[in-house]
Amino acid sequence: MNKLLITGTTTMITLASVAAHAQSSVTLYGLIDAGLTYTNSQITGTGGGHSNWEMTSNAVQYSRWGLRGAEDLGAGLKAVFTLESGFNLNNGQFSSGNRIFNRQAYVGLSSREYGALTLGRQTDSMVDFVAPLSLTGTEFGGTHFAHPLDNDNLNDSFQINNSVKYMSPDFGGLRFGGLYGFSNLAGGFANNRAYSFGMSYVWGALNFGAGYLQLNSSARTPGQLNTNGAVTDTTGSSLQAARSPTDVPLGVLASSQKTFGAGVNYTFGPAVAGFVYSHSKFAQFFQTGLSGTFQNFEGNFRYALTPAVELSGAYTYSRAGGNGGGGIPHWNQVSGMADYRFSRRTDVYIQGVWQRVSPSGTSPLGVAWINGVTAPSSTSNQVEATVGLRHRF
């Protein structure tokens, strides 16, 4: 009888363990993007501009791997987490040298009825609500299609540390959300903090989104940066302080960055047409009192030629303004891409970008620099072309 009791107890424990396991899930996922890129002009240490053939990682989308998990707590409530690491395929290194999970790292609760509340390193509302309507924020354009220097972060060049984020459920096509990133600094509540909010609405073929992001920092020199604050590094090539050694967005080295944007997509048959506007204002660079703004106007188009072939293109007009002097530049950028899917997971693509900036004057922004390209051009024009392969798992 004792043996039977022991056996029965063991069986019950095993069944309970299986039941608990069935209510939880952990998924390993990732994306690998590799290509060969030609750029017609890049400044080198010897001066002047030189063409460059190079193997590239992340030409369209950032290579990454991650773990995503959920535990069913009952009554429509789940515990959720995501840990995501970006890497450079060329050398196998993390895309951020001091972080393992440099793209996302958060845990929280998700409810079908009330939405999701998460804590950790997360994306802001410009990335969540506006970027999907721009080709730079999607698999149909990505890194090189970004607005000049990714000044509005639509290409997700940086994420927000120390953040609490709320995302609503879907209310008949309407979703909204917000985020707050703490400075984590005693006596410096506003020194490198961030907050963001946005919304989206889907009505039939129409998809609309809007967002706002603000960064505040008391540090305007690299030595004074609060390195435990909301934004401390980038995983891509966002607008930086003359590519400073700190490798941080310019907004962190200004007293503030205020970015807002909105976009709309309309689907008709196999085609999608869209328009996106964004505006970024940077105040008091490097304790100089100088301020500047960027405005971006993007028209984009996608067309599914066949179930396996997708064509996409965008035209972006950007202009800068402010009291920096040296001429106020504006940019014209034309981007195009053709993609062929071997399967749901694997595809090949060819894409190209032409960018022209004028007038150059004596502004430090007076030379062309396509986002994601290793170095700026020596002239007001730059051309990039990439042939690449992507695989998802």
Domains of the chain (ranges, CATH numbers): 24-392 (2.40.160.10)
Tell me the average pLDDT across 79-90: 95
Q: Look at residue 14 and give its three-state secondary structure.
A: helix
pLDDT digits (tens, 9 = 90+) for 122-156: 999 999 999 999 999 899 999 999 999 899 999 99
* Residues 114, 69: Cα–Cα separation, whole Å: 19
Cis peptide before 148 (omega within 30 of 0): no
Q: Name residue 290's amino acid.
A: L
Among 214, 182, 183, smallest CA distance to 197 is for 214
Structure tokens at 209: 């989104």
Strand partners, 353: 335, 384
Task: Please determine, for residue 377, whether its predicted confidence score (pLDDT) is greater than 50.
Answer: yes
Q: Look at residue 206 and give its three-state secondary structure.
A: strand
- Mean pLDDT score of the chain: 86
pLDDT digits (tens, 9 = 90+) for 358-376: 875 555 577 899 999 989 9
What's the alpha-carbon Rg for the chain, to the nearest Å?
23
- DSSP assignment of 188-238, as one string? -TTTTEEEEEEEEEEETTEEEEEEEEEEE-S--SGGG--TTSS----SS--
Task: Please determine, for residue 199, whether its predicted confidence score (pLDDT) is greater than 80.
Answer: yes
Q: What share of the chain is helix, strand, coil (3-state, %, to 5)?
A: 10, 50, 35
pTM of the model: 0.87
